[in-house]
């Protein structure tokens, strides 16, 4: 019994916690990103979902959705993590032992919540290129499934666009 507790304690201390992939803006991009987050005249609406192996659909309901200015450094970092400007990073890991991968949104950003049906909206958005990121996660037994979704869009002045984040 004592060895079991010692092994579990060692596993917890040795990195069984999720790996958090942090996206950092280059200091020179922060002023541009901050300016992009000021009041605009456009709207970005959307939804986020993943299909389970059995055919069920899980949405981002109740999860944060991040609107991220697409600066040069942010886009480069997101491409490094997701493989492109549209992508998916699998969560993985287990409830008991932890682990898996999480992606933290870069600052500065705007945040909203997905509603109960998995829809979100960002109003008063400035024209330009944007990244949108959220998580769709569930558990089966003790295994985490799903992960972080990333989409990229461009919006013009006085326009409303709709995006669907899926993989």
Residue 42: DSSP 8-state: E
pTM of the model: 0.87
Q: How many domains does the chain have?
A: 1
Judged by DSSP in three states, 61 sits in coil
- CA–CA distances in Å: residue 68 to residues 10, 73, 111: 37, 12, 9
Bridge-based pairing state of the strands 143-155 and 64-69? unpaired
CATH number of the domain enclosing 115: 2.60.40.10
Classify residue 107: in a domain, yes or no: yes
Sheet holding 143-155, edge to edge: 87-90, 143-155, 128-140, 64-69, 110-113
Integer Cα distance of 74 and 139 in angstroms: 30
Tokens of 119: 């829809």
Reading the chain (167 residues) residue by residue, the pLDDT tens digits are 333 333 334 334 445 678 899 888 999 999 999 999 999 999 999 999 999 988 999 999 999 999 999 999 999 999 999 999 999 999 988 866 677 888 999 999 999 999 999 999 999 999 999 999 999 999 888 888 999 999 999 999 999 999 999 99
For residues 164 and 150, give the distance between their C-alpha atoms in angstroms, rounded to a whole number.
Answer: 10
| Within-domain flag for 110 | yes
Q: What are phi and psi of 76, to 5 degrees?
A: -60, -45
Query: Is position 8 within any domain?
Result: no
Per-residue tokens: 81: 């993590």
Within a domain: 10: no
Residue 6 in any domain: the answer is no
Q: Is residue 4 part of a domain?
A: no
Residue 65 sits in which domain range? 16-165
Residue 39 lies in a domain: yes
Residue 70 placed within a domain? yes
């Amino acid at each position: 019994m004592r060895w079991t507790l010692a092994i579990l304690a060692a596993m917890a201390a040795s990195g069984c916690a999720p790996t958090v992939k942090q996206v950092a803006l280059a200091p020179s991009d922060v002023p541009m990103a901050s300016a992009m987050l000021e009041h605009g005249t456009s709207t970005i609406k959307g939804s986020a979902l993943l299909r389970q192996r059995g055919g069920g659909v899980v949405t981002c309901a109740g999860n944060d959705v991040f609107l991220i200015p697409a600066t040069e450094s942010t886009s480069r970092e997101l491409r490094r993590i997701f493989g492109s400007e549209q992508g998916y990073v699998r969560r993985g890991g287990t409830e008991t032992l932890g682990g898996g991968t999480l992606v933290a949104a870069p600052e500065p950003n705007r945040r909203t919540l997905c509603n109960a049906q998995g829809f979100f909206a960002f109003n008063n958005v400035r024209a330009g290129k944007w990244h949108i990121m959220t998580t769709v996660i569930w558990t089966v037994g003790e295994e985490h499934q799903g992960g972080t979704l990333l989409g990229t869009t461009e919006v013009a002045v006085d326009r409303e666009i709709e995006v669907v984040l899926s993989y």
